[in-house]
Every structure is written in C-alpha cells, then in structure tokens.
Structure 1
Amino acid sequence: MALVLPERGCLVACEKDATSLDVAKRYYERAGVSHKVDVRHGLAADTLRSMIQNGEACRYDFAFVDAEKRMYQQYFELLLQLVRVGGVIVLDNVLWHGKVADPLGKSN
C-alpha cells in the first residue's frame, strides 16, 4: 500500500509483536517506503484510541484491518472516528469458512 501512496502520504501500521514489527520495518526500508510508514508498537485498539485523543479524527482516507476477528467491531467503531466522511474502511476476512466471525469466539 505504501508503494502507491503519494510522497507526502502516510501509512500508519499497528503491530503488537516486537519481532514482527522489526521484520516489517526491514521490509519497508527495503521497499524504499519507510519514510511513508509510521509504525506504532502496541495493541491496535489502544493505538487507535490514542490517535483519536491526539486530534487525528477525520484525518485518514483509508483503513485496512487484518487483525483479531473478535476485535473487528471495536476497530470499526474507532475507525469511524478516524476516517474522513467518504473514506473507506476495509476489514479482511469478515467471513471465515463461509460464516461471519463470532465476536464471542463461541463457534469454531
């Protein structure tokens, strides 16, 4: 995604795992896009809340979520505050084996 951003564009990436974060940073560097990527270490929900509290509401055009399915509702609610009107929010794998993900984790 960062490859197609304009030079002044910014991608915010949330990652809770330090090892995965280090790997991602190396790939951003290798792709020549590290100047466009703001990598934030921590839980995504905490990061999104912090972004809202820091005045970043309605500043984003696009959000892509590929994370814990049980958290999607919470991420979506937070992203509604961060993505501008007319922006796009994409949630990966909302269907799992043909079924809607169970937020309570009761189904297999």
Structure 2
Amino acid sequence: MAITLTDKAAKHVQRNLDKRGKGCGLRLGVRTTGCSGLAYQLEYVDAAAPEDTMFESNGIQVFIDPKSLAYLDGTELDFVREGLNEGFKFTNPNVKDECGCGESFRV
C-alpha cells in the first residue's frame, strides 16, 4: 500500500505549509458526492488523527482515514498547470469510471 506525490506536488504542498506557518502534512480522503459517487478531498493537517494511516513521499507526510484508504491505495498525486488553470491531478489505479464533468469517480 502506498500513496505518492510527484516532486511538483510535494513542492507545492511544502510552499503552502510554509505560507501557513504551521502544519505537518496533507490529508487525502474521499467523500460521497457527484454523478459517479466519490470525490477527492484535500486539506492541510495540523495534527494527525489516531486512526490515520501515514505515508511519506518526497518529504511530505500524507494522512488518510481508514474509510478512504481502500479507495486511494496506489494513488499518485501530481500538481499540474494547463493553460491558465493549475491544480492537483490524481492518478488512481482503482478508478473504474469518472463522470463527464470530472468531479467524481467510481471504483
């Protein structure tokens, strides 16, 4: 089991943690929503929850709750710029289908 961040994603997260002046990493999770059923959630973490699983990738600690872990195992998180847009891109080997708007997925 592993969750990884590309070098670009790790640098982006570290810059934001530095700007915040606090935090120990990034929480990655899923929530029920959208056309296909699940959507990704990202937030900065100030303290790990006791039930979290922690991975470290490119110097960044990534925390995942037990419910989300089954959906996210093997996911790579990248940070991409496409034209005027920029944001995180998830490469998740568990995804079977995505909705047309790109906001949700199904495993």
Q: Same fold (TM over 0.5)?
A: no
**Which of the two has greater strand per residue?**
2
Pair member with larger Rg: 1
- TM-score, normalised relative to structure 1: 0.29
**Which of the two has greater helix per residue?**
1
Higher relative contact order (CA 8 A, sep 6+): 2
